Each structure stands twice: as structure tokens, then as C-alpha cells.
């Protein structure tokens, strides 16, 4: 048949030279291709898509049957790739709380042992240092004070004294006031008591006695404070008839009943000096 292929020469009997060789013959078709070839290619594509769909559906069914696996997969997908969850479990099987930083206990600073004797001593922290600083501030304030500030302080102290009526607290009135203003405090206490009650005069007299015995106020300052009160004692007695008696009580507290010289000088400033001296003797 023409066009079917090359003609193979006939083999001879007993010729084994072509034994084991395979001769491929190219098949050439000159007519239109079969219509079934396109159907086969379409069928292959459909089968591949069906296999992918089936595999994905099988995977989805497996995940739906195991919810824990699906939740774990979803959580892994939702987490960023750079973060990794880790939970530490203790011996009880429960997650242990995160470790917290240990709290530091600050101890009071103490004076180091073996200080250099050439260096000045360091002041240790404590109540003693604070009390020394307070006393230093009070003494420095008492060293200098203007007249206006002194009179303001004396007015506040006098009002407080008749309110609390404490001789111990009243000692600070002298210690926190410069010595040059002590006579002003004595005068203010006298003036407030001359027109008051007998109990107030006795309280002021006890304060003067305490200040004289403890050296809180000098005798000169006491005399200077009594002198202005003696000058107006006669006028005060017009409205307060007991003024001479109250004045004598406070003079005894200051010790002028035993000091004849100072007693005479103070009584000499009064309009009725004989009456005042007679109350002191």
C-alpha cells in the first residue's frame, strides 16, 4: 500500500543481526484529527479539578470533625509569624503566674565604721539630727528679730498663754524671743492681767517666778517690763479697782518684794507709790 511507510527488506533465514533492536515507525496522519482527542483533553482537565475539589473537601471535613484541631489551626493562622505562645505549667498542671521582680527593702543609712579621723564627723540620720536642726533654727531666729515681728509674736504668745494656761509651754516664749525684746513680753503679760481676774494675775506671777529661777529672763528685763505698767497703774485703777492688788501679786512672782532697790524704783513710777509698797511689805 502506497504511503504506508518504507518497505522492510525481507530477512534471511538464520540472520540474527537485527535481533534485539526495536524499530520505531513514525505515524503520520494526513487526515483531520479525531474529534475524540479534544474530549479526552477536556476530560483530563475536569478530572484534575475534581481531584483538587475532592482533596480540599476531604481536608475541610477532617477539620470540621476535629474542632480542637480547627481551633488550633485558626489560632495559629491568626497569630503573627514573629510571636510564639508559651505557657509554663507547674507541678499541679495549672499555668504558673509570671515571675515578679523581688521588692527591695531599703534600710536606713547608718554611720560607717572606721571613719577617717581627719574628716569632720557626719551627722547620722535620725530624730536627734532633726531635733538639733530645729533647735538651731529656733536659736538663729531668736538672735535677730525686728520690733514689728517681735510685737506680732508677743501678741500671739500672750493670747495662746491665757488659752492653754501651761507654764511649760510658756517657757518657749522667752527662749524663742531675742533677749532685747523680753521686756516687751513682760509688759504685754502685765497689761493683759491688770484688768483681768485674780487667777490670771497669779498665773502670770508664777510664769515670772519660773523665768527668773531658770534664767529665761534677766532681772533687768523684768524691771523694764514692770516700769511702763507702774506709770499707768493709777489710771487703770479707775476702771479696775483691783489693779494695785494684781500688780503686787505679779511683782512678788518676779521677786521684787525681796529686792528693795528695784521695788522702790518701780513704785516710784506710780502715782500712789505708798499704796503699792504697802501691798508688798
pLDDT for res 281:
83
| Residue 2 scores a pLDDT above 80 | no
pLDDT for res 75:
46
pLDDT for res 126:
42
pLDDT for res 45:
55
Domain range summary for the chain, segments of one domain joined by +: 147-280
For residue range 155-191, what is the model confidence (pLDDT) as tens digits? Answer: 999 999 999 999 999 999 999 999 999 999 999 999 9
Query: What is the overall mean pLDDT for the chain?
Result: 73
Which residue's entry shows cell 494656761?
165
CATH classification (class only), 147-280: mainly alpha
pLDDT for res 119:
47
For residue range 253-270, what is the model confidence (pLDDT) as tens digits? Answer: 999 999 999 999 999 999
| Residue 41 scores a pLDDT above 80 | no
Amino acid at each position: 500500500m502506497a504511503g504506508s511507510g518504507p518497505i522492510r527488506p525481507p530477512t534471511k533465514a538464520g540472520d540474527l543481526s537485527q535481533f534485539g533492536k526495536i524499530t520505531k515507525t513514525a505515524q503520520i496522519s494526513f487526515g483531520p484529527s479525531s474529534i475524540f482527542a479534544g474530549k479526552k483533553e477536556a476530560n483530563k482537565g475536569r478530572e484534575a479539578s475534581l481531584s483538587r475539589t475532592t482533596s480540599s473537601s476531604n481536608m475541610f471535613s477532617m477539620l470540621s470533625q476535629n474542632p480542637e484541631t480547627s481551633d488550633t489551626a485558626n489560632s495559629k493562622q491568626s497569630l503573627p509569624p514573629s510571636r510564639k505562645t508559651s505557657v509554663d505549667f507547674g507541678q499541679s498542671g495549672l499555668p504558673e503566674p509570671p515571675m515578679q521582680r523581688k521588692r527591695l527593702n531599703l534600710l536606713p543609712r547608718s554611720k560607717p565604721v572606721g571613719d577617717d579621723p581627719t574628716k569632720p564627723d557626719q551627722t547620722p540620720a535620725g530624730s536627734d539630727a532633726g531635733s538639733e536642726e530645729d533647735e538651731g533654727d529656733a536659736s538663729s531666729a531668736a538672735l535677730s528679730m525686728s520690733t514689728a515681728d517681735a510685737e506680732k509674736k508677743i501678741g500671739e504668745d500672750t493670747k495662746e498663754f491665757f488659752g492653754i494656761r501651761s507654764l511649760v509651754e510658756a517657757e518657749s516664749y522667752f527662749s524663742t524671743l531675742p533677749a532685747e525684746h523680753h521686756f516687751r513680753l513682760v509688759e504685754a503679760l502685765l497689761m493683759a492681767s491688770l484688768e483681768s481676774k485674780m487667777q490670771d494675775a497669779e498665773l502670770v506671777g508664777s510664769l515670772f517666778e519660773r523665768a527668773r529661777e531658770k534664767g529665761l529672763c534677766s532681772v533687768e528685763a523684768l524691771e523694764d517690763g514692770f516700769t511702763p505698767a507702774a506709770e499707768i497703774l493709777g489710771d487703770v485703777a479707775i476702771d479696775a479697782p483691783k489693779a494695785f492688788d494684781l500688780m503686787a501679786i505679779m511683782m512678788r512672782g518676779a521677786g521684787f518684794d525681796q529686792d528693795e532697790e528695784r521695788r522702790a524704783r518701780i513704785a516710784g513710777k506710780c502715782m500712789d507709790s505708798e499704796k503699792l509698797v504697802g501691798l508688798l511689805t
